[in-house]
């Protein structure tokens, strides 16, 4: 929580212009701070001063997060989601050290009109509701151009980059990408675990690769100036998307399969191909993802082992961080929504005991300050730290957002 704290936060709370219990359900939400005793990376006073200077000097960007407050009682999660009002923790973002973030919003858990998710109406409703709430405060601003990101940094604000984790809601209508771009979406995934009209998902037993329609969609995203993400795509679909795109792409939140053998992770050859085409890989920190044999009890050390592996494979110019964190019981969400990931067959045959939270990277407040502390403590140069905190992402956006 000890960061620069120079944001223009005025105390606004999500949807405070409405009356809870009258305009929307009054569901108790988790506190922003102190939910669990996650630790700060220990550094000396001189190292901490360097951390704060680096956070000040560089544009700090999360490639993927969900800075939402979850219900205290997760049995109320569906009621909360059906209401369509994800509560952003502006209070937490104000001390996160971030200057910009790719916000994944509700994505496949937008259940406003459907119990299955990924419906067009739900995605549009979700985005519109979030932008409406943002319009009532001054700190979080829309990040749709590089100038928006620069202004946000200069003005003590945070740029909100609307990110859709899969293009599933466009169905077979490529023009819907234009509509999403017009509404502010600036990064879009190809698939989310399950296959769709564009290509194969990472959870499928077979991956047929990028479809003809998927190639049309990739071309249209390039034409629009919309960044492309393959975090949840199958390996073949990821490779073919990287090759089909005329602009470098992102793998916004992922880890190395070489360290933890699950389909959610990506193999080294995908990282190399992404880097060869100028792209950037964001390292994931959500529970049940970036574990390692050395650190099966996932913590910041496990996550940074994935970072160092990917950096060794792809190069320091092609790595960043997409922690994929939120405010609340992330593990509890996974147990409800994705119980398959706890089975031995999903973890290379290993029987694992999940940690309640990823110590040191539990929520968006602590991720980037602790990442910076870890990098300083491990003698990374100012130049390399600046690259992975946001410089590499900015380089890709200069190309991906050009039209």
Closest CA to 305 of 292, 320, 286: 292
- In total, the chain counts a number of residues equal to 403
Cβ pair 265, 303 in contact under 8 A: no
Q: What is the pLDDT of residue 2?
A: 36
217-226 pLDDT, tens digit per residue, is: 999 999 999 9
Query: Does residue 346 have a pLDDT over 90?
Result: no
pTM of the shown model: 0.96
CB atoms closer than 10 angstroms to residue 133: 22
Query: Does residue 311 have a pLDDT over 70?
Result: yes
274-299 pLDDT, tens digit per residue, is: 999 999 999 999 999 999 999 999 99
Query: Does residue 4 have a pLDDT over 70?
Result: no
Closest CA to 323 of 390, 372, 378, 253: 253
Which of 18-22, 101-105, 113-117, 258-262 is least confident? 113-117
Query: Does residue 3 have a pLDDT over 50?
Result: no
Q: Which residue has the higher pLDDT, 280 or 5?
A: 280
Q: How far apart are CA 123 and CA 108, in angstroms?
A: 9
User: If pLDDT is split at 50, 70 and 90, which confidence band does 140 have?
Assistant: very high
| Residue that the structure tokens 């999660």 belong to | 77
Share of the chain above pLDDT 70, in %: 99
Q: What is the pLDDT of residue 6?
A: 77
Q: What is the pLDDT of residue 353?
A: 78
Query: Does residue 5 have a pLDDT over 80?
Result: no
115: CB partners within 8 A, 6+ apart: none
Q: What is the pLDDT of residue 349?
A: 80
Question: What does residue 42 show for φ and ψ, rounded to 5 degrees?
Answer: -80, 125
| Residue that the structure tokens 């956070």 belong to | 55
Q: What is the pLDDT of residue 339?
A: 82
Query: Does residue 344 have a pLDDT over 90?
Result: no
Q: How far apart are CA 395 and CA 248, in angstroms?
A: 10
Query: Does residue 367 have a pLDDT over 70?
Result: yes
Query: Does residue 1 have a pLDDT over 70?
Result: no
28-68 pLDDT, tens digit per residue, is: 999 999 999 999 999 999 999 999 999 999 999 999 999 99
CB burial string 241-263: b at 16+ within 10 A, e below:
bbebbebbbbbbbbbbbbbbebb
Q: How far apart are CA 356 and CA 291, in angstroms?
A: 13
CB atoms closer than 10 angstroms to residue 212: 9
Summarize the confidence of residues 346-360 as an average pLDDT.
85
Mean pLDDT of the chain: 95
Q: How far apart are CA 97 and CA 266, in angstroms?
A: 28
Which CATH number applies to 54-400?
A: 3.20.20.140
CB atoms closer than 10 angstroms to residue 294: 9
Angle formed at CA 374 by CA 265 and CA 91, multiple of 5 degrees: 85
Half-sphere exposure of 111 (CA within 13 A, CB side): 11
| Residue that the structure tokens 């496949």 belong to | 108
Q: How far apart are CA 213 and CA 211, in angstroms?
A: 5
Burial of 93 (0-12, 13-18, 19+ CB in 10 A): buried
81-99 pLDDT, tens digit per residue, is: 999 999 999 999 999 999 9
């Amino acid at each position: 929580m000890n960061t620069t704290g120079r944001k223009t936060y005025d105390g606004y709370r999500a949807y405070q212009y409405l009356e809870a219990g009258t305009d929307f359900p009054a569901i108790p939400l988790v506190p922003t701070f102190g939910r669990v005793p996650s630790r700060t990376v220990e550094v000396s006073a001189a190292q901490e001063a360097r951390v704060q200077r680096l956070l000040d000097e560089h544009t700090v960007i999360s490639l993927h997060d969900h800075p939402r407050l979850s219900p205290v009682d997760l049995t109320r999660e569906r009621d909360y989601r059906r209401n369509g009002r994800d509560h952003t923790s502006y209070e937490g973002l104000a001390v996160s050290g971030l200057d910009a973030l790719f916000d994944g919003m509700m994505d496949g858990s937008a259940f406003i009109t459907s119990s299955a998710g990924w419906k067009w109406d739900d995605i549009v409703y979700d985005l519109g509701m979030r932008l409406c709430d943002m319009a009532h405060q001054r700190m979080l601003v829309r990040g749709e151009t590089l100038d928006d990101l620069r202004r946000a940094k200069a003005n003590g604000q945070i740029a909100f980059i609307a990110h859709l984790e899969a293009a599933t809601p466009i169905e077979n209508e490529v023009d819907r990408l234009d509509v999403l771009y017009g509404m502010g979406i600036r990064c879009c995934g190809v698939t989310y675990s399950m296959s769709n009209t564009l290509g194969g998902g990472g959870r499928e037993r077979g991956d047929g690769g990028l479809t003809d329609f998927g190639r049309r969609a990739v071309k249209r995203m390039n034409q629009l100036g919309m960044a492309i993400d393959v975090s949840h795509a199958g390996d073949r679909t990821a490779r073919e998307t990287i090759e089909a795109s005329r602009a470098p792409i992102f793998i916004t939140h992922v880890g190395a399969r070489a360290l933890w053998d699950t389909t959610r992770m990506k193999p080294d050859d995908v990282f190399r191909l992404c880097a060869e085409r100028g792209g950037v890989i964001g390292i994931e920190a959500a529970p049940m993802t970036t574990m390692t044999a050395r650190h099966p009890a996932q913590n910041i050390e496990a996550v940074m082992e994935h970072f160092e592996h990917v950096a060794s494979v792809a190069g320091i110019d092609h790595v960043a961080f997409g922690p994929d964190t939120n405010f609340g019981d992330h593990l509890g969400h996974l147990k409800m929504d994705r119980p398959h990931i706890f089975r031995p067959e999903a973890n290379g045959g290993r029987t694992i005991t999940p940690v309640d939270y990823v110590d040191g990277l539990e929520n968006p407040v602590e991720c980037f300050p602790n990442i910076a502390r870890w990098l300083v403590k491990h003698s990374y140069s100012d130049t390399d730290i600046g690259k992975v905190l946001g410089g590499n992402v900015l380089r890709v956006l200069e190309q991906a957002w050009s039209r």
